Structure 1
């Protein structure tokens, strides 16, 4: 990791900073000596967490509701006011509610896409504009999922939103390439626990049992891939998806009883 572990002075924005993977991402950039802008919808939790980690000389925390365009734009404006522009954007925030398509409401469907797809679009567009204005050849990293390629019952909207996020990643990559801005996706392995989506013990145990390499993701797994995509070590990489999931997205060791609709 030494080849790309020093990001001294790089200004990094992390959404969904208070979640499990979010904290791993923050820890990776803290260790790499970056300056951080942390954002999360959970304002009290964000404030407490920001006080626990080193955000760097110009670092700050700013809460944002990613279902609200005005809140996202306020975050972008604050980044511009404080930094002029970021060097790295990590679109990490995501929600994973469970429900059969026959039962899920339109409002819930829209909420999933607002957080998982619409917010990364708005943030990438706004922060890329700032990067272009300041002449920064930055990096955008979208946190995707193996669910983008492997459909799962009861979480179809989530899977669909991640498939769309992968296409959005490639779309931004091809349109921002002329400005030297790279856009990639990272698929982290399974990590139990989230500030916004709870999982049962049965689901957690079954998922881990099915992973070919036999374990869930660790913080260092995510950190190694993330810092690679954020650094100059990946200067010729754009529009790519880096999968670090123990083989979970390519096949399963366990055959689970499919959950059936109660009808």
Structure 2
């Protein structure tokens, strides 16, 4: 019960990673504010995780709408005064070629992946400062921040910017003892909106050096570490939890061969 009595805000809580993150903190005794644009799915998460509906906050947040984000912050202030932990998990990963993407789609990707974490971090940090709370913010990025992907340049660029923003927030919030860090989760089946075929998942698994996809405890455990007292001297860090995928990929069966042999 490492986080017993602490309050945690999780955005994108109805998605795969969001549910895993919420479940981890709930098991560790935290009270949760679950944010997602899909209100019905939030109630499903509350039921699935057997959360207390009396103490669990839910908010249908439209992350491209600044007023909706301010409303989320107002709910947190009303019920908790301030959060202890904020996890900006929500994100968009659409596929658009740079010659085909229109301005509205570009703006929506950056609105959800960059502007929303900025606004949420700013508003929640203001609450923490007003309450004298030494909080923690974790922004969820991706290995795409390090390497461009064909057809996903807008996504990659937004995640690179998010990591720079996180370092800036860490610098400016340090005097208030509010720590800001980044986690880059690895590939997880079903983590995208689109359905992933078994063949695609197997091909991706073979490219990951540790030979498996991300499980329900991998990224959440790393996030929890960064929010815990164990990481009290860690801020502005980027932690890859991807089975080594960010350092390079290979096809299984290629290791151990003598150079020059078939």
TM-score normalised according to structure 2 size: 0.91
Give the secondary structure class of the aligned counterpart of 1:62: strand
Q: Does 1:93 align with 2:90?
A: yes
Structure 2 Cα separation of the partners of residues 198 and 148 of structure 1: 23
Give the secondary structure class of the aligned counterpart of 1:170: helix
Q: 1:198 to 1:155 in 2, by over 3 A?
A: farther
**C-alpha root-mean-square deviation of aligned residues, in Å?**
1.6
Report the Cα offset of residue 133 of structure 1.
Answer: 0.2
Q: Is the 8 A contact 1:34 1:55 kept in 2?
A: no
Report the Cα offset of residue 55 of structure 1.
Answer: 4.0
Residue pairs, 1:1-263, within 5 angstroms = 6-55=2-51, 58-194=55-191, 196-199=193-196, 201-254=198-251
Structure 1 Cα separation of the partners of residues 193 and 114 of structure 2: 16
Report the Cα offset of residue 204 of structure 1.
Answer: 3.1
Give the secondary structure class of the aligned counterpart of 2:60: coil
Report the Cα offset of residue 175 of structure 1.
Answer: 0.1
Report the Cα offset of residue 53 of structure 1.
Answer: 2.3
The match for 1:260 is none
Structure 1 Cα separation of the partners of residues 194 and 93 of structure 2: 6
Q: Is the 8 A contact 1:228 1:234 kept in 2?
A: yes
Structure 2 unaligned residues grouped into runs of 5+: 253-262
Q: 1:104 to 1:90 in 2, by over 3 A?
A: same
Structure 1 Cα separation of the partners of residues 192 and 12 of structure 2: 9
Q: 1:221 to 1:47 in 2, by over 3 A?
A: same
Structure 1 Cα separation of the partners of residues 105 and 34 of structure 2: 26
Number of equivalenced pairs: 251
Q: 1:75 to 1:197 in 2, by over 3 A?
A: farther
Report the Cα offset of residue 71 of structure 1.
Answer: 0.8
Deviation per CA, 1:174-218: give whole Å up to 9, x if none: 000000000000111111214645545554333222111111011
Report the Cα offset of residue 58 of structure 1.
Answer: 3.0
TM-score normalised according to structure 1 size: 0.91
Q: Higher RCO, 1 or 2 (CA under 8 Å, sep at least 6)?
A: 1
